[in-house]
């Protein structure tokens, strides 16, 4: 006999329950997947922020810290030192007064004897003196000649120092401005702001050319073309800056033509410097130009605080940099009949010429260094 056939039954189904607190029992552990995601993210970071970019960011941080240190270091505690003071006094008291003023604590004054008030005023207008003390032997009130066009802070510092010295002799001082700033030139700062604007345009124009066409010109012909383009830009920037500060805002009483020439030279000097540094260091040259012109040049330019009020380091480098040479020249054109211009103009011309020569030299070097393509 055959065994009775039993009805067919399907095997029991195994249900996998999914719990919110953990993975399914039969699912692969998630730790390796998370580890793989972290590795992918690390590769993405390395791709997005390369070592070269990290070095550039570090350079930006250093440039920012240098900016803060330079501006705060130059301006946080202005102390007068070596203010060139002419002394007009009777012959019998002149030498003693000069010696007394020169021996003040901290040596804020650099006094020297002058023959008369007219001669002292002429030397102030020639920018050979910062101020002059004219004594009155018949009274107790002396006259201090100053030049507001050279910066209100310098005139005020001279008044404060001389006033204290005169008070020690039971005398008073009245102030006479022989080269005052224009009504639209508050504290004599327009020249400084004008030159800063020209400098900004100079290095930005050179930087834009580098970003759009490569930091280094491919050959000397390209270098000449870039320098020519910068010259055209400098001429336009110089003219427009002169028009804005002159006829438009009536802030600087200097002719358009002299300021135009000065502005062209300032912009060209800074632009050529930037182009040269890019030829030497590539895109890093833009940061180096900012370090020279902005970080070091602007606080030492004698704008907010003229040279006798700056610390020794900034006072020493200011006249040799484009912002300082440009600010001094603009003030000379506006308030001092163009006196004492030779030195600052030579400084600007030297920066422009050196920048152009280095740019051309770098272009020749890189053209010779680049391998030549084979001739078929």
Cβ atoms 344, 326 nearer than 8 A: yes
What is the pLDDT, as a whole number, of residue 55?
A: 84
Cβ atoms 98, 111 nearer than 8 A: yes
pLDDT beyond 60 at 375: no
Q: Which alpha helices (DSSP H) does 76-180 contain, by range? A: 91-102, 117-125, 152-167
Residue 201, CA distances (Å) to 116, 194, 255, 262, 278 in order = 45, 11, 21, 14, 16
Of the two residues 5 and 198, the one the predictor is more confident about is 198
Of the two residues 224 and 50, the one the predictor is more confident about is 224
pLDDT beyond 90 at 51: no
**Short-list 277, 279, 270, 261, CA closest to 297:** 270
Digit-coded pLDDT (tens) for 332-345: 999 999 999 999 99
Tell me the whole-structure pTM to 2 decimals: 0.84
Pairing between strand 141-146 and 109-113? unpaired
What is the domain partition of the chain in residue ranges? 83-177, 186-369
Quickly state the pLDDT bin for 74 (edges 50, 70, 90): very high
What is the pLDDT, as a whole number, of residue 328?
A: 98
Rounded CA-CA distance 133/356 in Å is 46
What is the pLDDT, as a whole number, of residue 358?
A: 95
Determine what percent of the chain is predicted with pLDDT higher than 70. Answer: 86
Of the two residues 2 and 294, the one the predictor is more confident about is 294
Quickly state the pLDDT bin for 211 (edges 50, 70, 90): confident
């Amino acid at each position: 006999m055959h065994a009775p056939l039993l009805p067919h039954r399907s095997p029991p189904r195994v249900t996998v329950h999914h719990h919110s607190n953990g993975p399914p029992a039969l699912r692969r552990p998630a730790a390796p997947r998370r580890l793989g995601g972290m590795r992918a993210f690390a590769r993405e970071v390395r791709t997005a922020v390369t070592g070269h970019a990290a070095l550039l960011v570090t350079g930006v941080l250093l440039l920012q810290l240098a900016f803060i240190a330079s501006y705060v270091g130059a301006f946080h505690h202005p102390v007068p030192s070596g203010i060139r003071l002419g002394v007009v006094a009777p012959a019998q008291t002149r030498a003693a007064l000069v010696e007394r003023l020169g021996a003040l604590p901290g040596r804020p004054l650099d006094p020297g004897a002058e023959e008369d008030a007219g001669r002292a005023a002429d030397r102030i207008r020639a920018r050979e003196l910062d101020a002059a003390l004219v004594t009155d032997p018949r009274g107790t009130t002396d006259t201090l000649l100053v030049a507001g066009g050279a910066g209100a802070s310098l005139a005020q510092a001279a008044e404060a120092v001389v006033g204290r010295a005169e008070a020690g002799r039971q005398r008073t001082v009245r102030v006479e401005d022989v080269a005052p700033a224009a009504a639209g030139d508050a504290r004599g700062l327009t020249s400084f702001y004008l030159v800063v604007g020209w400098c900004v345009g100079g290095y930005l124009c050179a930087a834009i050319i580098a970003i759009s066409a490569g930091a280094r010109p491919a050959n000397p012909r390209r270098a000449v073309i870039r320098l020519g383009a910068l010259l055209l830009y400098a001429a336009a920037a110089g003219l427009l800056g002169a028009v804005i500060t002159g006829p438009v805002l009536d802030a600087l009483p200097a002719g358009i033509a002299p300021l135009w020439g000065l502005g062209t030279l300032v912009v060209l000097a800074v632009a050529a410097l930037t182009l040269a540094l890019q030829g030497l260091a590539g895109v890093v040259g833009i940061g180096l130009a900012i370090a020279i012109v902005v970080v070091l040049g602007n606080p030492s330019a004698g704008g907010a605080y003229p040279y006798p009020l700056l610390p020794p380091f900034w006072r020493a480098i200011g006249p040799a940099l484009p912002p300082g040479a440009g600010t001094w020249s603009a003030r000379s054109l506006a308030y001092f009949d163009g006196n004492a211009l030779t030195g600052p103009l030579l400084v600007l011309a030297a920066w422009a010429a050196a920048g152009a020569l280095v740019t051309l030299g770098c272009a020749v070097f890189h053209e010779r260094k680049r391998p030549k393509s084979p001739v078929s």
